Amino acid sequence: MTPQETARRSAEAMWAGDQASRGLQMSLDEVGPGSATLSMTLRPDMVNGHAIGHGGYTFMLADSAFAFACNSYNRATVAAGADIRFRRPTRLGDRLVATATERGRSGRDGVYDVLVTVGEEVVAVFVGRSKEIGGVLFDPDHQG
């Protein structure tokens, strides 16, 4: 199985059980070894009292992209920590795109950078630290 196929099958297995990302109507746009892109449009119920996108939704989109990227090797992996810097407010109707890229992995630990954009503009920068916990997302010997 190629690394790309492993990433695709890992993402399919995760997506099937990811009610949180699906419930927010996120879209899994791309996945590859150590990378993932997800997107989401800000709805009226995602806007806070300042009439801007609630930062928690931006964080959740970035966190989901991070999760798909760090699980792309078919090794069960969770977040060990994450930080986000908001660069500008988001607005109702904005299409947020979160692109996660692996910075590096060593042993069971990984670091991933996620840029959240609206169009060409970066609205948030997220750094996630991952930890492999053992286990796999799918059986590589079972074709499905």
Nearest to 10 by CA among 59, 75, 61, 89: 75
CB 66 within 8 A of CB 114: yes
Rg, C-alpha atoms of the chain: 15
**81-107 mean pLDDT:** 97
User: Mind listing the domains of the chain with CATH numbers?
Assistant: 3-132 (3.10.129.10)
For 62-82, how does the pLDDT look when each residue is reduced to its tens digit (9 = 90+)? Answer: 999 999 999 999 999 999 999
What does DSSP assign to residue 45? G
> What integer pLDDT is reported at residue 144 of this predicted model?
58
For 43-59, how does the pLDDT look when each residue is reduced to its tens digit (9 = 90+)? Answer: 999 999 999 999 999 99
